[in-house]
Structures are given as C-alpha cells and as structure tokens.
Structure 1
Amino acid sequence: MNSEHIIARFQLSPTAAPDQGIDTPKKRASAVMLPLIDVDDHAHILLCKRPIYLHHHPGEICLPGGKFEASDITLRTTALRELHEELNITPSNVKVFGQLPLYSTLTGFNISPFVGMLNKHTIWENDHNEVQASFLLPLRDLTNEANWQPLPFQRFGKTIILYGYNTPHGLLWGATASIIKNFTKQLALPV
C-alpha cells in the first residue's frame, strides 16, 4: 500500500475533531510528525533514535517532534519546526494531510500527532545533537500483529500492557508505538 492509498483511507475515516494540545497545569503541549514516504511503491514511516546522552528519553525510538514554543503559531508549526530541526526536512517537502487525536502521556505531555507525506525525493540529514539515527519502517510490517510483543508493567499496583516493536535500532514502544497503532487503526488496517 503506497502513500496515496494511505491518504485516501485516512481521509475516508476521520476521527473526532482533534483536541488542541494546549498546556495545562499538569501537561505540557507538544507535537510530533508522523512522516510517510514511499519506497518501491510501499508506504514507510520515518523514525528517529535519540542519542543516549540526552537527559530525557535517551536512546528511544521516536517520531520527529518536541515541545510547543512561544514562537510557534500552532502545534502544526511545532511539528514542522521539529522535523526541520531534527532531520533538516523543510516544510516545503511535507504535505500535512491530517491530525490524529491528542495523546496524553504518563510523563506529563499532551502530544498532538500530525500526519504528513514527504516528497518522494526528500533527503534528510540527522542533527546529531538530537538524532543518533533515522530510519524507515514499512507500514505493512507495522500492521502485522505478529511483529508486536506485549510489554507488561506495573503502574499504581495495576498491570498495564503496552506493545513494542523491535527495530534495527532498538525497541519501538510507549507513546510513539501507541500513536503509530492509533494511526493504523484509523486506516482500518490490522494491528
């Protein structure tokens, strides 16, 4: 399935109006971009691995994104700015075609995920202060339930099950995994 099919499915199955991920007393507004690009006529998601020396989420697999800043006009602006800062992809190389519902994390963030398609000849370059590695994962592999593993953990005395996906650069889990799974569910693809 290529990006054109993905866009059509995404637009045919709208979610409820996305929440605005504004700062609240307990949550900080942030945004991520879920960037799609076709390779051999199949849609792939571009992901990053954070450097291990960072204080927050060291070595984790993530979507390009970060905190809302006062200079950002909207959370969409935040997602595009972060994509440019982290991977040197200019907004002119991205067509943002939708937004997923707000995702609230246990670590105190309201994440507004945006979905964008990269121009097919887009070349990116990691900002090594923010990105240790960047890589593509085929969407078809991310929709295969057999590729996901349950990750049970304890929170306030209750067992919670998250799901993880092994990548060549480490485990994809947490908020990023949940956002990707929400995206594929909206497309009515099995995950």
Structure 2
Amino acid sequence: MQLNEFLIRFQLQPLSANNITSAPAHFPGREAAVLIPIEQIDDQLYLLLTKRPLHLRHHPGQISFPGGKFEAKDKDAMDTALREAEEEIGLKRNNVTVIGAFPPHKTFTGFTITPIVGIINKPFELVIDPGEVDSCFKVPLNYFKQNENRHLGQHWRKGKLYKVHYMPFEDKFIWGVTAAIIDLLCRHIDN
C-alpha cells in the first residue's frame, strides 16, 4: 500500500475530532498519548515501533509506539505524542503530519492512551533516549494488514480474564494496547 491509497482509505472513515482537541479535565497521571508514526520507504508504508528498556517501571521490555504520559505543559494528546516522539527517538514535530486520532484506549494496567496517527514527512536520524527506549525498528504495514498476522488471545490479571491482541514479528512479540492499536488501524483502512 502506498501513501496516497492509505490517506484516502484512512480519511474515508470518520474519526472524532474531539480525540485530540483538549487536555484531560483532570490529571491523575494515567492519561497518555502515543504517536503511530507511518513512513513511506520506496513504495511501501512502515510503522515505526520502539522497544522499552527493562529498567522502566511500567511495561518494561514491551514493544510500543513512541509516547508517554500527559504533562501539564501539553496542550492536548497530539502535543503529548509529538513531544514524546521527539524526546524518545529524535523525531521532530515539524517532520510529522498528523492526520487523525483514534479514541482513547483503556489498558488493564490503568492507563488511558490516545493514539495519534502521523505521517513522517522525510527520513530522519534516530536519536534514541536510552532512559526511555532500548531500540527502534520498522515493520511493513502490509504485514499487519494480513489477518493471519493479527491474533486475539486471553490474559489473566489479578483474577480477571482480558482479551489481548498479539502479533509476532520476526524475533519480536507485539502485544497489548500496541497490538490493539495496530489492529484498529488495519481494520480502519480496510473498511
């Protein structure tokens, strides 16, 4: 899938404008935003993902999108996602065209995460903050678009059973809210 086709498919489906227009009414410290960075390389689209370092308190070692908690200085979820992407991997906000946002996702760990969809305008040099990111890698969007690469399983946590998305890719295991967001993106552009 090329960028023009992606943009047409993405924009054919309605998204709520309210997802990125304001900061949370209160700040208990559990609101967050992530950037879904999409980059066209040659004639193929890629999602850029990060692996969290093992020393982090929340979600150590997991695959994620660049992003993090809302800070008081952030205007909205878009501002949070763009700030975090710049801090974590060196992706400057002026190198991203935001095309929309998905509704916030609640995680079973207590976070509410707003996914912001953005197109990387031109190649950039990764500058990884080792305090927040262990590594960064790209996956062809076409890989995730294939239904056989997206799975739904179950996970027990504190005596409750949850449905959990997961997607193995090469030597990586993408699961949880990141996999759920990827699944939502794929279903959104395939409608």
Please confirm whether the aligned pair reaches a TM-score higher than 0.5, indicating the same fold: yes
- What stretches of structure 2 of length at least 5 have no aligned partner? none
Corresponding position of 1:109? 111
Which secondary structure does the structure 1 equivalent of 2:179 belong to?
helix
Q: Which amino acid aligns with 1:32?
A: V
Corresponding position of 1:49? 51
- Residues 104-158 of structure 1 deviation map (CA, whole Å, 9 limit, x = unaligned): 1111111111000002322322111111110001110011121234432235766
RMSD across aligned positions (CA)? 2.1
- What stretches of structure 1 of length at least 5 have no aligned partner? none
Percent identical residues: 37
Q: Which amino acid aligns with 1:74?
A: D
> 1:46 & 1:13 partners in 2: Cα distance?
23
The match for 1:132 among 130, 134, 155 is 134
Does residue 144 (structure 1) correspond to residue 146 (structure 2)? The answer is yes
Is the 1:18–1:102 contact (alpha carbons within 8 Å) kept by the matching residues of 2? no
Number of residue pairs matched? 189
Which secondary structure does the structure 2 equivalent of 1:187 belong to?
helix
Is the 2:29–2:70 contact (alpha carbons within 8 Å) kept by the matching residues of 1? no
Residues 1:67 and 1:157: Cα distance change in structure 2 (over 3 Å): closer
> 1:38 & 1:26 partners in 2: Cα distance?
37
